[in-house]
Structure 1
Amino acid sequence: MSAMSDVSSRMISKPTNTEGERYINALQTASDGGHNRVVQTPLEKGANVNAQGGVYSNALQAASQGGYEKVVHMLLEKGADINAQGGDYGNALQAASQGGHEKVVQTLLEKGADINAQGGDYGNALQAASQGGHEKVVQTLLEKGADVNVEGGVYGNALQAASQRGHEKVVQTLLEKGADVNAEDAHYGNALQAASNRGHEKVVQTLLEKGADVNVEGGVYGNALQAASQRGHEKVVQTLLEKGADVNAQGGFYGNALQAASDRGYKKVVQTLLEKGADVNAQGGHYGNALQAASEGGYEKVVQMLRRHKEVIRG
């Protein structure tokens, strides 16, 4: 078992809430369920349409995330604050965008939703839509003035969100609209590293064709080659090496790509890296070197492979 838990665990994961924690009142509960008539009752009795709390923060956000157009209209007519902040989604527009609800997104924008409002897990509406792979919503947001390079959220930016999820068409759209292919973030470092770690071959190819720096440093894995090696994505590793990735680049949790592949016992990736000149004696990273990483993981065949390579070097 690797000493480092899967980086994807740091991606958005909704908490399991009790009913009381998830919804703060009957209005929010009904809104999340899209129950028009049930929503009408608390409103007629004077319920606070902008009451805050819970996962969705308010009733409008709950209805928007579920794509319930009629409820959204009803809440807005009753004075719901369209730009109210709070909750996991940050605001109603981000909630609707993440759910891919085109008509609700259109309605919110027509009613004055701030298209570049910051907050929530996704940072902004464009990143939320990009993460979900909702092409039409992404197009709409960009046409309405969404900032394609705005930073924030779990993924850092929209391009990284789409790349991490392997949404090829969204990646293409964002790049065509001026997304910075080498924009950096503390988590994956950049879009290429995100796509490489998830093994999205076509996205990796697209990013490289659009000028992604194959050796740019940063993020948890240090570089794209280490990110791909850590997950055992053979074809991506091959592609990156063919495009000039430095097989001995240092940095990140594992120190180098060989240690990353050795820690997970990926024999074919280890073999490829060694054939391309990976330094079996390189020091650094969590385990100190590749041989120690493979040994601690109990991968005997990789240990033998690395030892044979060391002997060849000595000889």
Structure 2
Amino acid sequence: MRLGLLACAALVLVACSPGDPGAGGAPTPSVAPTQSPTADSTRTEAAVPEPEQTPQPSEVEQARLDERLRAAAWAGDVLRARRLVERGADVNAKDETQQSAYLIATSEGHLELLELTLRHGAAVDDKDSFNGTGLIRAAERGHADVVGRLLRAGIDKDHVNNLGWTALHEAVHLGDGTERYLDTVRVLVAGGVDVDIESPRDGATPLAYARARGFDDLARLIEVASAQDGRPLDRSTAERRLLDAARSGDGDAAALALRAGARLETRDADRRTPLLLAATHDRVAVARLLVALGADPDALDAIHDTPWLVTGVTGSVAMLEALLPARPDLTIRNRFGGVSVIPASERGHVDYVRRVVRTGIDVNHVNDLGWTALLEAVILGDGSVSYQKIVRILLDAGADASIADGDGVTALEHAQTSDQTEVARILRRAQ
């Protein structure tokens, strides 16, 4: 009996040893020499449970998920697509017509959906039933922004499908020569596609197709690109031409400069990028090209302006729309500590204010002068119809009329003091 008790006691002591793997306990954690873990930290690590394995869907469940993902892609429903991808839907899974969520995003021009598929392993060079890439599909539909994103993703830019066409062939031969196709061809040219490939189908080059269809703008750009390839520019010349093109609004010259090797984020003497120059001078076509190729909408210049911030000064809704696909940071402040809605309100840009409040920008942001957009619209406005509209738009968007300036004066009090009778009436009704 005494021997049995001693044996039990020995077993208890061994089982309680935290550093002995043979006794069933967790091994002592490896610790750097400078660390001194406490007993509590050791027990905590030992008590961490094994992570649960996410159950893999069955073959039937996987097929259903993939089918639902393709349906969401056709509908352009990014939120539903994201949920399905999180549950394991495959962005590359194809149906019997060789359509996948990724390929659907390229042909339908769903840029946000395309980004989702690229983040989740899209096979960038995958082919459709015509042995065509997503680049060819996007070019044929005139989706310049998608074309630019695919070029940045490293897609095969000169692939020939079983119709005998490259992306450039299809943009010219199957396009209609309108602005969206000019944008698309500019992106392809800037991205370095081969403009001289002859189609195995009929021996025609993209230039021949452009001439045959009477697309003079496209033909001119392709012809100059072909000639320039034989006489390469040095980088400094190309970058000077890019900056000049951004100022003047010459989309073809901008595309050719980029093709020649100009850096997208090159700067002038005032630290302005091509995109910032395009925004400043409201050169929307050049901005669309630059954004499609990945230009930074948040690049700061010497006076703390960005392409996005400048839109609040110019009031250009078209430029605002051109920059939104680049996902600008709406919280970046100008040299006065303001966001873009503040100078727009001060300057009476009604249409811009109406559009920008729908982006989620903070309409109650206070700048370094102690003013919100609403305060600026009253203090620096003249109470005219434009400013009355801006005051209403801001209030409807959630502007807080009770916010006072640095001296404790509210927008209503400023309106009353400056005899802006109608603005004062609007503000009183908002209380």
Q: Which of these residues, 397, 401, 404, is aligned with residue 217 of structure 1? A: 404
Name 1:108's counterpart in structure 2.
290
Name 1:191's counterpart in structure 2.
373
How many positions carry a matched residue from both structures? Answer: 199
The 1:193/1:121 distance shift into structure 2, 3 A limit, reads farther
Name 2:348's counterpart in structure 1.
166
Q: Which of these residues, 207, 213, 236, is aligned with residue 48 of structure 1? A: 236
Q: Which moved more, 1:123-132 or 1:174-183?
A: 123-132
Measure, in 2, the Cα distance between the counterparts of 1:86 and 1:219.
37
Q: Assess if the C-alpha contact under 8 Å between 2:272 and 2:300 holds in 1.
A: yes
Give 3-state SS (helix, strand or coil) of 1:130's partner: helix
Letter of the 2:360 counterpart: G
Q: Which of these residues, 136, 141, 151, is aligned with residue 318 of structure 2? A: 136
Root mean square deviation, CA, Å: 3.4
CA shift for structure 1 position 222: 5.3
Measure, in 2, the Cα distance between the counterparts of 1:108 and 1:238.
45
Q: Which of these residues, 206, 230, 234, is aligned with residue 421 of structure 2? A: 234
Q: Assess if the C-alpha contact under 8 Å between 1:192 and 1:207 holds in 2.
A: yes
Letter of the 1:49 counterpart: T
- Which structure 2 residues correspond to residues 37-116 of structure 1 after superposition, within 5 A? 48-49=236-237, 59-87=241-269, 90-116=272-298
CA shift for structure 1 position 202: 0.3
Name 2:307's counterpart in structure 1.
125
The 1:158/1:232 distance shift into structure 2, 3 A limit, reads same
Q: Assess if the C-alpha contact under 8 Å between 1:86 and 1:120 holds in 2.
A: no
Measure, in 2, the Cα distance between the counterparts of 1:60 and 1:82.
9
- Which structure 2 residues correspond to residues 243-254 of structure 1 after superposition, within 5 A? 243-244=430-431
CA shift for structure 1 position 129: 2.2
CA shift for structure 1 position 232: 4.6
Measure, in 1, the Cα distance between the counterparts of 2:279 and 2:266.
16
Percent identity reads 24
Q: Assess if the C-alpha contact under 8 Å between 1:90 and 1:120 holds in 2.
A: yes
The 1:79/1:45 distance shift into structure 2, 3 A limit, reads closer
CA shift for structure 1 position 79: 2.8
Larger Rg belongs to: 2
Give 3-state SS (helix, strand or coil) of 1:215's partner: coil
Instruction: Say if 2:363 is the partner of 1:181.
Output: yes
CA shift for structure 1 position 241: 3.8
Give 3-state SS (helix, strand or coil) of 2:245's partner: helix
Measure, in 1, the Cα distance between the counterparts of 2:370 and 2:238.
36
Give 3-state SS (helix, strand or coil) of 1:49's partner: helix
Q: Which of these residues, 199, 205, 209, is aligned with residue 392 of structure 2? A: 205
Q: Which segments of 5 or more consecutive residues in structure 2 lack a partner in the other structure?
A: 1-220
Deviations 1:1-40 (A, max 9, x none): xxxxxxxxxxxxxxxxxxxxxxxxxxxxxxxxxxx99xx9
Using the size of structure 2 for normalisation, the TM-score is 0.40
The 1:159/1:127 distance shift into structure 2, 3 A limit, reads same
Q: Assess if the C-alpha contact under 8 Å between 2:234 and 2:260 holds in 1.
A: no
CA shift for structure 1 position 214: 1.2
- Which structure 2 residues correspond to residues 263-274 of structure 1 after superposition, within 5 A? none
Measure, in 1, the Cα distance between the counterparts of 2:369 and 2:267.
24
The 1:230/1:64 distance shift into structure 2, 3 A limit, reads farther
Give 3-state SS (helix, strand or coil) of 1:48's partner: helix
Q: Assess if the C-alpha contact under 8 Å between 2:299 and 2:306 holds in 1.
A: yes
Measure, in 2, the Cα distance between the counterparts of 1:227 and 1:210.
21
The 1:78/1:241 distance shift into structure 2, 3 A limit, reads same
Letter of the 1:48 counterpart: S
CA shift for structure 1 position 122: 6.6
CA shift for structure 1 position 242: 4.0
Q: Which segments of 5 or more consecutive residues in structure 1 lack a partner in the other structure?
A: 1-35, 52-57, 245-315
Give 3-state SS (helix, strand or coil) of 1:184's partner: coil
Measure, in 2, the Cα distance between the counterparts of 1:66 and 1:230.
44
Q: Select the structure with the greater relative contact order (CA < 8 A; seq sep ≥ 6).
A: 1
CA shift for structure 1 position 230: 6.8
Letter of the 2:373 counterpart: A
